[in-house]
Amino acid sequence: MTGALACLAKVTLGILNTLFLLVGLALVAVGAIIKQGSGVIGDVLGELKNVPAVSQYLDTAAWVLIGLGIFFTAIGILGGCGACCAVKIFLILYIIIVIILMLTQIVFIALLFSDKLKDILQSALKDSFSKYKPPPDPVAGAKIDTDDVLSRGLDALFIELKCCGFESSKDLTTASKTPVTCCKAFTPDLLKSDDPFGTSLIELQSCVSTGTNSYKDRGCYDALLDLIDDNKGAFIGGTVGILLFQLICVVFAVLIIKDKNKNSVSPIS
């Protein structure tokens, strides 16, 4: 019975880690393509290539993808070779890495719903918010500085999550005024428009000066928690599924090691 389980574990773990290997190689390839030809990726991204400063994020995205690809490739090699050839040291390393991944996910989930993560993020993002430079006040013909990658990235966050600052607009250096990207009338299309204020000029002017019809009191941390809460079922289901998948991989690797130890022939003394 143990031998049959070990055989099943070898086949299953071999297939799963072959998929890991392929995913890892694919990520490395995509990262390399982005690194060498951002124009090609820009065409693939469609409208996203027109978002201000997005091209400046491509280099960072490329390295992130390459790093993840190398990581997944390493896991695939350790798990796949360890399963198919019953290489004990590979399987032990594989088990250690997967267990560390599981613990990391559990810690992150625990932090996500505690005040500790809020303190960590607030401390890490404080410098970014202090360097934030809002778009110009809404006047006819005004242009948005697309070279300020940090500020435009925060603007995109404000628009997407319908928030302003970490806890509120008071976290920003422009606390005396509401940034125009925190106004409800400011849409993602306006951020990349040649005339960002033309269609909603009066409404945006009122918002900036008085804070009416804005998200100035809604922090992005609370907005992120609301987003997670709105998708709680999918989030919990996905997290539990990933943890169970990793646990199965660990159990299969242990079965293969136990079977190898059982079938090892001790030398005659």
pLDDT tens series, the chain, 269 aa = 456 777 888 888 888 888 889 999 998 988 888 777 655 454 554 444 444 444 556 667 778 889 999 998 999 999 988 888 888 899 999 999 999 989 988 888 787 777 677 777 777 777 777 788 888 877 766 777 777 777 888 888 888 889 988 888 888 876 568 888 888 888 777 777 777 676 677 788 888 888 888 998 888 888 888 887 788 778 788 888 889 988 988 998 888 888 877 765 444 43
Inter-axis angle of helices 220-230 and 232-263, to 10 degrees?
70
pLDDT at 94: 92
Backbone CA torsion sign across 109, 111, 113, 117: negative
pLDDT at 224: 83
pLDDT at 53: 47
The answer to whether 65 touches 30, Cβ cutoff 8 Å, is: yes
In angstroms, the CA 182 to CA 211 distance is 9
248: which strand partners? none
pLDDT at 149: 76
pLDDT at 85: 83
* Intervals of CATH 1.10.1450 along the chain: 131-225
Count the alpha carbons within 13 Å of 137 in the hemisphere toward its beta carbon: 11
pTM: 0.65
CATH node for 131-225: 1.10.1450
Place of tokens 């001790």: 266
Structure tokens, 201: 């000029």
Structure tokens, 139: 């006047």
CA distances from 55 to 42, 43, 49, 111, 118 (A): 8, 11, 7, 32, 30
